Amino acid sequence: MCRNIKTLFNFDPPATEGEIQASALQFVRKLSGFNIPSKANEAAFNLAVEQVVGAATILVRSLVTNAPARNREVEKAKAMEESRKRFGPSTVKIRPLNRDI
């Protein structure tokens, strides 16, 4: 699976429309092999993104769990620590969390 597609279920606060949109875009890019489609493929590409956004929204909003909601900052810190263990401290770049992507 594409490394840029993040888990969106069971977070507090819940996933935003922007996060779902970004995830759908990454998914369609991965499937199609296009970062930016040609004019000839643009309509099909954009339709696929819209349909994946719809399906992902329904899925994320419909899932249920008894587990407590995860904290975004705690999960980010865990991922950074794993990255440090795997690659060493000099390769980890800290970016501000942009939830409006």
CB 100 within 8 A of CB 18: yes
The pLDDT score that the predictor gives to residue 83 is: 84
Tokens 């993104």 belong to 49
Q: What is the pTM of this model?
A: 0.74
Please write the tens of the pLDDT for every residue from 35-92.
999 999 999 999 999 999 999 999 999 999 999 999 988 988 998 898 888 888 765 5
Q: What is the DSSP letter of 89?
A: G
The pLDDT score that the predictor gives to residue 62 is: 96
The pLDDT score that the predictor gives to residue 1 is: 46
The pLDDT score that the predictor gives to residue 76 is: 87
In whole angstroms, what is the distance from residue 27 CA to residue 48 CA? Answer: 10
